[in-house]
Amino acid sequence: MNKTPQSLFNEITQDNDVLREFKNHSNRVMYLTTMLGKAINCYDEELKVAALLHDIGKMGLSKSILFKPEKLTPLEKRIIESHSHVGNLIVRKELNMPRAAQFVRDHHENWDGSGYPRGLKGEDISIQGRMIRICDTFDTMTYEVRHYSTYKMSHEEAFEELRRCAWREFDGQLVETFISLVKEHGTSNDWSTAMKT
């Protein structure tokens, strides 16, 4: 039987402690990215797949590194950064979706060229990768407290941080569209309810 993105995701997250930790995050990022993609007329199923599977490359990472409370060493940082490339390979080879794989690969590139894995800059980064980047960051700041943060930000604090990093880490135009969308759809912290409607 051919694997679907959802079946692959469910199969892997069922047996993988690391990805189980990110399952709700991945679903929220998929919802947010879908909302943003539809708003700018740039939505298709491959965007949805890439948003859902953006962290699938973390499946082989050590929990001790991924959830380390202290600052990462340069080697540990490089290991974590490898997940974009690994995710690209999984989506490309297992699902035969090279376009979605590109979006997975691009989701940690920065507008100013300081991101990874390829150091792409500006519009050289796929717009889909830029959208996932914003939605992933917003969800991480407001829901998924990890080693680099000690508290969950409010939506307003997260908006301020996205704007502060616009045109450096993020596509500033997409940031403003995203913020307007989240404000328009309310600021309740229950995206799971929104996803069912």
**What region, left, alpha or beta, does residue 97 occupy, with left being phi > 0 and alpha being psi -120 to 50 degrees?**
beta
| pLDDT score of 146 | 58
The count of other CB atoms within 10 Å of the CB of residue 148 is 11
Each residue's pLDDT tens digit, 79-129:
999 999 999 999 999 999 999 999 999 999 999 999 999 999 999 999 999
| pLDDT score of 149 | 56
Does 58 qualify as catalytic in the annotation?
Answer: yes
Q: Kindly give, in sequence order, each residue whose CB lies less than 8 Å from that of residue 15, ignoring residues fewer than 6 positions away.
A: none
Inform me whether the pLDDT recorded for 169 exceeds 70: yes
Is 188 exposed, middle or buried (CB count within 10 Å of its CB: 0-12, 13-18, 19+)? exposed
| pLDDT score of 23 | 85
Of residues 24 and 89, more confidence is placed in 89
Mean predicted confidence (pLDDT) in 162-177: 98
Please report, for the chain, the start and end positions of each structural domain, with discontinuous segments joined by +. Answer: 5-196
| Architecture in CATH for domain 5-196 | Orthogonal Bundle (1.10)
Q: Among 23, 38, 58, 183, which one carries the catalytic annotation?
A: 58
Inform me whether the pLDDT recorded for 66 exceeds 90: no
